[in-house]
Amino acid sequence: MSKVATPQPLRRLRAGIVGGGRGAFIGSVHRIAAELDGQAQVVAGAMSSHPEIARESAAAWFLERAYTSYADMASSEAADRNGIDFVIIATPNDLHYPVARAFLSAGIHVVCDKPLALTLAEGEELVRLLAAGPTLFALTHNYTGYPTVRQAREMVRGGQLGEIRKVMVEYTQDWLMEPLESRGNRQAAWRTDPARAGLGGCVGDIGTHAQNLLEFVTGRHIEALCADLSSFVPGRRLDDDANILVRLGGGVKGTLVCSQVACGEENRLSIRVYGSQAGLEWHQQDPNTLIYKPAGRPWERLSTGHGYLSPSAKAATRVPAGHPEGYLEAFANIYRNFMDDVRRVERGQPPVRDYPGVQDGLRGLRFVAQAVASSRAGSVWMDL
Amino acid sequence: MSKVATPQPLRRLRAGIVGGGRGAFIGSVHRIAAELDGQAQVVAGAMSSHPEIARESAAAWFLERAYTSYADMASSEAADRNGIDFVIIATPNDLHYPVARAFLSAGIHVVCDKPLALTLAEGEELVRLLAAGPTLFALTHNYTGYPTVRQAREMVRGGQLGEIRKVMVEYTQDWLMEPLESRGNRQAAWRTDPARAGLGGCVGDIGTHAQNLLEFVTGRHIEALCADLSSFVPGRRLDDDANILVRLGGGVKGTLVCSQVACGEENRLSIRVYGSQAGLEWHQQDPNTLIYKPAGRPWERLSTGHGYLSPSAKAATRVPAGHPEGYLEAFANIYRNFMDDVRRVERGQPPVRDYPGVQDGLRGLRFVAQAVASSRAGSVWMDL
Amino acid sequence: MSKVATPQPLRRLRAGIVGGGRGAFIGSVHRIAAELDGQAQVVAGAMSSHPEIARESAAAWFLERAYTSYADMASSEAADRNGIDFVIIATPNDLHYPVARAFLSAGIHVVCDKPLALTLAEGEELVRLLAAGPTLFALTHNYTGYPTVRQAREMVRGGQLGEIRKVMVEYTQDWLMEPLESRGNRQAAWRTDPARAGLGGCVGDIGTHAQNLLEFVTGRHIEALCADLSSFVPGRRLDDDANILVRLGGGVKGTLVCSQVACGEENRLSIRVYGSQAGLEWHQQDPNTLIYKPAGRPWERLSTGHGYLSPSAKAATRVPAGHPEGYLEAFANIYRNFMDDVRRVERGQPPVRDYPGVQDGLRGLRFVAQAVASSRAGSVWMDL
Amino acid sequence: MSKVATPQPLRRLRAGIVGGGRGAFIGSVHRIAAELDGQAQVVAGAMSSHPEIARESAAAWFLERAYTSYADMASSEAADRNGIDFVIIATPNDLHYPVARAFLSAGIHVVCDKPLALTLAEGEELVRLLAAGPTLFALTHNYTGYPTVRQAREMVRGGQLGEIRKVMVEYTQDWLMEPLESRGNRQAAWRTDPARAGLGGCVGDIGTHAQNLLEFVTGRHIEALCADLSSFVPGRRLDDDANILVRLGGGVKGTLVCSQVACGEENRLSIRVYGSQAGLEWHQQDPNTLIYKPAGRPWERLSTGHGYLSPSAKAATRVPAGHPEGYLEAFANIYRNFMDDVRRVERGQPPVRDYPGVQDGLRGLRFVAQAVASSRAGSVWMDL
């Protein structure tokens, strides 16, 4: 008999999910990302407050335990010795804070879709909650999971660009170029509703990704901004477009542009950084490539999967060079680093926190608040 | 209490794997692809004939059952009413046939990495085995899983190109540009060894992908070829480069080029098709895009995730437009269609077989055999 | 004897040039552009105030008449019945106004490199001079000569984009990323000297090209701006980088970015226009292509030399599709339209003025003045 | 008085043209290319055998002397001490030989559009004529005039690719995808007529450009080929498509593909060269860029106008980096080098011959002859 005993010092982590019921694209993304490396399985969920949808959604995912109340889920799972190790929050924005609070209070680690919360006050409350205990928190600013983005950060850190002078970051789409919110589109409805989405529309939904990417790559904070927000679609209650001048620490200047009415754009997130010795350029829709522009020499096209990349970029790749990886894999890299921390904490080791966290969430909330304030005041400069 | 009963008319499928032990990149690819949509889980494996490696590999994947003999695994799983629904074969080429035979004989469905077998005779034996029973067989010509490749096939089928005249297909890499097989690289060792890889080197390893892609997109077979195979690296026993003239049914002519010594190329698989009314162009390293070139009009760039695509292309996408998907997702599309068939067969429905199968495998073996024969005879024309 | 009499109802036009002596790249550009279509020849010049350089420069170009004083040249050529039909001004900026005034006063048509003048007052004086007489004036905002740029203008005009909402225009370079002005580079010396270049550095030198391109393509004026100008290179007296928010007529909003310290950029001029029905994108370094992005349909790549283009785009191309044309040909298109007007005026017909003129020059001067004023006042909004 | 004496040790060269009458695109190209740098002027022409067209064409170009017979032109110009220095042959292929012979016999230098002649015998006669005297001969394989192509040649020569192994060259178009020759298109009529175009259709018209480019860049000759020629358009008398396997000196292997029925392609000429240490890639439709792919390092994008290029590449550029140059400028580079030789010969110096000549023309004729012979014999190998 050739069957052998399998030593299992480890086990798959157990995850739960709140939100992400049928029809919600982002729920599936979280599940795939969490499970991609075989290190976790989603086993429980409060995927909808409608019992029928909750039941069907859970069945579709073969969940072991389905809830209709996230609060019940938090207490029940916390009390179960085989309960979940962490929860995924994939609800509309207005629930991020209460759900996160419920699970953190129950001692369960949290992976939360961005934004952190609806308001700065909520965000600060989460900071306090996390400071008080050992629970971990990740915010899925997923684009920082791309290996090329990690490479870019390392190159800036390593001085390969010299002194940073100028940045250009952009995130443009067109999915809200028509008034979908008045045509029955549920995603559009809550994302353009101040009560559920928060102060910012486009600037909150995708502008924060651009801001986070910019700060991640440059290692510097936006210190001031001057924002011109627009609502191009008649009747829209939140901004759907923003042009923003930014100033970062160290005298860096630049622009941050986002739009959800840029006709023809799909998910055009890009960043350029110019230093005194070299430039960098990256495009999310060509994610396996990073352009490096050293002064007086030919441009170089760095590509994932190669030995010449930094360790953190290499660690974020699953397949050899030339086999494209994309959005899901980058998302999964956030989970991978988070789950490594979950295991560290379980082993009594300190977490490494190589993923976006609650402080990144706070910065995003401040960015939105000041962009909106700037624009309302006539597009004047505001400190951040 | 909000916990609800989860109706589970379905369950996750159970998969096993042969091969893919630690260090083998393709094993992980199969596992991720099989599990990506949450419809299956790999629970058993004969991942190595070395007990220690088998054990460690199984533990790393949290497998429930680990074997050191694929024959034992086939009989044991077949006898278990909770045994695997299908097996994944991710071994070197010389084991594809015996492993497939063992599991098919045991009544277990098979997903086999390409090539189908080492020899035509083996391949024909598998055809006979499959003809005799209800078991399913998929061959992972994974590139046909890309939504853009499916779109291309639909456009050719739908007549959007007119009469096809000319094709150009290419698959170039550089990973064998040095004699790695004599420097301890195990992948290189077996892939350049006729006893384990088969008649063809480069032409077998990646040339068959190009041939399969060409036939998939055009819906036509290569009927004759004239091949010029080379072994550029001194001491290499199999070809590492091939330039091939091809003639397809219906008067179509073209070129098929493959190389594993094309310095600087990563995984450059591309296809172009020219018809009497339009052309098409696709590049695997920019996989979410398909270029359509109608006569006398601007080129169009079709992109995944859009409503204007064919149903089969839309069905092969998991995220909205502008969120890049890549190699793993395309691979998973092969599994998704295969597993849909597994469920159909379990429900007593006829399979749809919208994935590469044993006949595609036979065609690949013939292609390699004739390419090698053509080249050996002085690069003369051979029928296929 | 087969020699035949050649009827010559027309003759080549005779051009003169001021500036452009040896070493000045832009002088050659003007000569090539003026002569490219065989409709004119440069026959006279005041290419330098140094007699020796004037003589050598003229000899190198086989000029018939060389001057060391532009004033003498103006009067002498005006008095000569075989004198020049028009003069080209290719001097540093501070001479544009006096030279233009001299030739216009002498009744000689003028093609002037941009900017129009050093100050708004000078520019307005030229407007008055031109209003008083029949002489023609072209300002070489050469990028509007590209056929694809003309196509873009026609598509906006024709309503193919719907209502314009958002624009992004950029002109970035890196040639001044080091303090060349203090290292003996003569071009850098005058271009960073307020006395010779004017109020603006980068914003004047290339920002005005971006502003002109934006207004040309959209058919709308920048009505207000908020500019953040920088001098990144220590010791530099004029700006070498600018990030500008702009608002155009009709509620259009956007960004205008220019830089001469953007490491790795060569001459990256690009424009994007987003409307309620489609978007457009053009890059000067890929000048034969225009991207059109209709809502809900694939992107289209329009390419020069095709029958589907507008008449004005077709008229601006000299070779069939796929034969790249570039900077010199676009420059020559400005000359071609200007020279057609010269011939019209000679025939007593009204000029068509399909090239940038004195009003465009005035707008450029105002743009620079307000950008500088905005930045000095703390980057506040200024009307234009 | 500031007018100064212009020393004119040199004068503009005087050129004549045979062919190129109204409607012939290539005639204008030659005129622009010859005159671009201000070193020559076309002053005489036998642009058509129809007196009226000859007269009108000459008038449109402001020619001083118009002929209806090239033979008269040759003798008349040779007898005139102010006669032309060189003649440009821009006729259909069947006249290349007789016209070249007439002018060479008259002692006048020749620039001839490709191909050299209709037959090998004619080509060899021109070799003899040139061997006998001091007259110069250039064949406008214009694509070798691109600075990036010159850079590629230098990099191969300098060993930056190591040992060359594999090449891929392509020239595809679609302008003959319909039977234009039967619809009144004069260009199509003569180019598909064996009596006027020669043995080869597509393989002669553009295949030779690909062959010449391949040999120019690699510095190696095609020694054998196996060609599969097609006439896809019903009724066409010459090939309109070719797929060719090639073997070059030194064990280099590859493919040469050309087509005039490749729907959607404009003028897609490209070359790739793979060596043991690096690869190179160039595309005519993106002509200012050259991709260099060193083993194990990022791809580099070399760009025209930079200091890191070879002297011969730098010498072939007229404007700074980022200002695109194209087809006409590359064509003009052939003329520039040829005219430098004309001046050398006039000064009694030996010519440098850095442009395609009569031997290149002979190789092209042999290439066409053997490609046609190979295809007719069933696509078998033929030596060259």
Q: Is D13-135 CATH 3.90.110.10?
A: no
Token reading at D70: 């090239």
Contacts of A31 in chain B (CB under 8 A): 38
Q: Is the pLDDT of residue D7 over 70?
A: no
Interface of A with D (CB under 8 A): 292, 296-303, 306-308
Residue B6: pLDDT band with limits 50, 70, 90 = very low
* pLDDT of the residue at B9: 57
With a CB cutoff of 8 Å and minimum separation 6, the contacts of D242 are D202, D203, D207, D227, D228, D229, D230, D256, D257, D258, D259, D371, D375
**3-class secondary structure, A382:** strand
Dihedral angle of Cα C142, C144, C149, C154, to the nearest 10 degrees: -160
Residue C9: pLDDT band with limits 50, 70, 90 = low
* pLDDT of the residue at D133: 79
User: DSSP string of A27-69?
Assistant: HHHHHHHHHTTSSEEEEEEE--SSHHHHHHHHHHTT-SEE-S-
- Judged on CB neighbours under 10 Å (0-12, 13-18, 19+), B7 is exposed
* pLDDT of the residue at B49: 85
Q: Is the pLDDT of residue A64 over 50?
A: yes
C107: number of Cβ within 10 Å = 12
Closest residue to A301, CB basis, from D301, D306, D308: D301
With a CB cutoff of 8 Å and minimum separation 6, the contacts of C346 are none
Q: Is the pLDDT of residue D9 over 70?
A: no
Q: Taking a C-beta distance cutoff of 8 angstroms, is the pair B264, A322 a contact?
A: no
Q: A13-19 and A86-90: which strand pairing?
A: parallel
Inspect the interface and report whether the beta carbons of A274 and C261 lie closer than 8 Å: yes
Residue-wise burial string across D39-48, b where 16 or more C-beta atoms lie within 10 A, e elsewhere: bbbbbbbbbb
* pLDDT of the residue at D49: 85
Which CATH code is given to the segment(s) C145-319+360-383? 3.30.360.10
How far is C162 from chain A, CA to nearest CA, in Å? 10
How far is D365 from chain C, CA to nearest CA, in Å? 24
The 10s digit of each residue's pLDDT in A206-227 is 999 999 999 999 999 999 999 9
Q: Chains with ≥3 Cβ pairs under 8 A against C? A: A, B, D
Interface of B with C (CB under 8 A): 292, 296-303, 306-308
D320: number of Cβ within 10 Å = 16
- CATH fold, domain D146-319+367-383, is Dihydrodipicolinate Reductase; domain 2 (3.30.360)
Mean pLDDT within A282-286: 98
CA distance A171 to A209: 8
Q: Is the pLDDT of residue A43 over 70?
A: yes
Q: Which residue of A has its CA nearest to B67?
A: A3
Inspect the interface and report whether the beta carbons of A296 and D306 lie closer than 8 Å: yes
Mean pLDDT within B247-261: 98
What region does A197 belong to: left with phi over 0, alpha with psi -120 to 50, or beta?
alpha
Q: Is the pLDDT of residue C8 over 60?
A: no
CA distance B21 to B60: 10
Q: Where are the domains of chain A?
A: 13-135, 146-319+360-383
CA distance A139 to B278: 47
Inspect the interface and report whether the beta carbons of C59 and D319 lie closer than 8 Å: no
Q: Which amino acid is at D82?
A: N
Inspect the interface and report whether the beta carbons of C322 and D54 lie closer than 8 Å: no
Q: Choose among B291, D291, B323, B304: nearest CA to A287.
A: B323
User: DSSP string of C138-149?
Assistant: EE--GGGGSHHH
Residue C21: pLDDT band with limits 50, 70, 90 = confident
Domains C13-135 and C145-319+360-383 share a fold: no
Interface of B with D (CB under 8 A): 161, 165-166, 168, 174, 177, 226, 228, 230, 232, 241, 243, 245, 247, 253-255, 257, 259, 261-265, 274-279, 293-295, 299, 378-381
How far is B263 from chain D, CA to nearest CA, in Å? 5
Mean pLDDT within B107-113: 98
Q: Taking a C-beta distance cutoff of 8 angstroms, is the pair A83, A109 a contact?
A: no
Inspect the interface and report whether the beta carbons of D1 and C72 lie closer than 8 Å: yes
CA distance A37 to C43: 74
CA distance C324 to C305: 10
Which comes out higher in pLDDT, residue C6 or B11? B11
Inspect the interface and report whether the beta carbons of D278 and B264 lie closer than 8 Å: yes
Contacts of D69 in chain C (CB under 8 A): 2
Q: Taking a C-beta distance cutoff of 8 angstroms, is the pair C34, C335 a contact?
A: yes
CA distance C1 to D189: 31
Which comes out higher in pLDDT, residue C193 or A21? C193
Q: Is the pLDDT of residue B240 over 80?
A: yes
C132: number of Cβ within 10 Å = 10
Q: Is the pLDDT of residue B158 over 80?
A: yes
Mean pLDDT within D269-289: 98
* pLDDT of the residue at B21: 83
Inspect the interface and report whether the beta carbons of A177 and C228 lie closer than 8 Å: no
Q: Taking a C-beta distance cutoff of 8 angstroms, is the pair D108, D74 a contact?
A: yes
Closest residue to A54, CB basis, from B4, B10, B305: B4
Q: Taking a C-beta distance cutoff of 8 angstroms, is the pair D255, B257 a contact?
A: yes
Residue B4: pLDDT band with limits 50, 70, 90 = very low
Q: Chains with ≥3 Cβ pairs under 8 A against D? A: A, B, C
Mean pLDDT within B182-209: 95
- Of all residues in chain A, the percent with pLDDT exceeding 70 is 97
Omega before A115 cis (within 30°)? yes
CA distance A211 to A229: 15
Contacts of A296 in chain D (CB under 8 A): 306-308
Q: Which residue of B has its CA nearest to D242?
A: B254
* pLDDT of the residue at C56: 92
Q: Choose among D218, D243, D222: nearest CA to D232.
A: D243
The 10s digit of each residue's pLDDT in D321-377 is 999 999 999 999 999 999 999 999 999 999 999 999 999 999 999 999 999 999 999
Q: Which amino acid is at D100?
A: A
Residue C4: pLDDT band with limits 50, 70, 90 = very low
Q: Which residue of A has its CA nearest to B11?
A: A62
Contacts of B69 in chain A (CB under 8 A): 2
What are the counts of helices (DSSP H) followed by strands (DSSP E) for chain C?
Answer: 13, 15
Mean pLDDT within D255-276: 98
- Of all residues in chain C, the percent with pLDDT exceeding 70 is 97
Inspect the interface and report whether the beta carbons of A68 and B267 lie closer than 8 Å: no
Contacts of C276 in chain A (CB under 8 A): 177, 232, 263
CA distance B297 to C321: 12
Contacts of C292 in chain B (CB under 8 A): 298
Inspect the interface and report whether the beta carbons of D298 and A302 lie closer than 8 Å: yes
> For B361, phi and psi rounded to 5 degrees?
-65, -40
The 10s digit of each residue's pLDDT in D61-70 is 999 999 999 9
CA distance C284 to C121: 32
Q: How far is CA C27 from CA C18, C88, C361, in A?
A: 9, 9, 20
Taking each helix axis from N to C end, the angle separating D70-79 and D96-105, rounded to the nearest 10 degrees, works out to 20
Q: How far is CA B60 from CA A67, A114, A368, B39, B87, in A?
A: 31, 31, 43, 21, 18
Q: Which amino acid is at B171?
A: Y
Closest residue to D302, CB basis, from A292, A298, A306: A298
Q: Which residue of B has its CA nearest to D275?
A: B263
Q: Which residue of B has its CA nearest to A24?
A: B319
H or E segment to which residue B314 belongs: helix B311-315
Q: Taking a C-beta distance cutoff of 8 angstroms, is the pair C109, C135 a contact?
A: yes
Q: Taking a C-beta distance cutoff of 8 angstroms, is the pair D258, D246 a contact?
A: no
Q: Which amino acid is at B163?
A: E
How far is D279 from chain B, CA to nearest CA, in Å? 5
Contacts of A382 in chain C (CB under 8 A): none
Inspect the interface and report whether the beta carbons of D295 and B257 lie closer than 8 Å: no
Q: How far is CA B236 from CA B180, B194, B201, B233, D264, in A?
A: 10, 10, 9, 6, 40
Interface of D with B (CB under 8 A): 161, 165-166, 168, 174, 177, 226, 228, 230, 232, 241, 243, 245, 247, 253-255, 257, 259, 261-265, 274-279, 293-295, 299, 378-381
Compute the Cα dihedral for C363, C365, C368, C371 and give only its sign: negative
* pLDDT of the residue at B7: 40
Inspect the interface and report whether the beta carbons of B328 and A321 lie closer than 8 Å: no
Q: Taking a C-beta distance cutoff of 8 angstroms, is the pair D311, D296 a contact?
A: no
Residues written for chain C: 384
Side-chain half-sphere exposure of B180, counting CA atoms within 13 A: 15
H or E segment to which residue D241 belongs: strand D241-248
CA distance B238 to B231: 6
Q: Is the pLDDT of residue B60 over 50?
A: yes
How far is B305 from chain C, CA to nearest CA, in Å? 11
Q: Taking a C-beta distance cutoff of 8 angstroms, is the pair A15, A84 a contact?
A: yes
CA distance A330 to A355: 12
**3-class secondary structure, A247:** strand
Inspect the interface and report whether the beta carbons of D306 and A298 lie closer than 8 Å: yes
Q: Which amino acid is at C290?
A: L
Most C CBs within 10 A among A169, A231, A243, A265, hence the mutation to make, goes to A243
User: DSSP string of C233-277?
Assistant: STT-SS-SEEEEEEEEGGG-EEEEEEES--TT-SSEEEEEEEESS
Contacts of D287 in chain C (CB under 8 A): 324
Inspect the interface and report whether the beta carbons of C3 and D285 lie closer than 8 Å: no
How far is C62 from chain D, CA to nearest CA, in Å? 7
Inspect the interface and report whether the beta carbons of B243 and D255 lie closer than 8 Å: yes
Q: Taking a C-beta distance cutoff of 8 angstroms, is the pair C180, C191 a contact?
A: no
Q: pTM of the prediction?
A: 0.96
Bridge partners, residue B280, by sequence: B273, B292
Which CATH code is given to the segment(s) B146-319+360-383? 3.30.360.10
Q: What order of strands is seen across the sheet that includes strand B109-112?
A: B65-66, B40-46, B13-19, B86-90, B109-112, B137-139
- Of all residues in chain A, the percent with pLDDT exceeding 90 is 93
Reported ipTM: 0.95
Residue A267: pLDDT band with limits 50, 70, 90 = very high
Closest residue to C324, CB basis, from D2, D36, D324: D324
Q: Which residue of B has its CA nearest to A68?
A: B2
Inspect the interface and report whether the beta carbons of A267 and B38 lie closer than 8 Å: no
DSSP C167: E
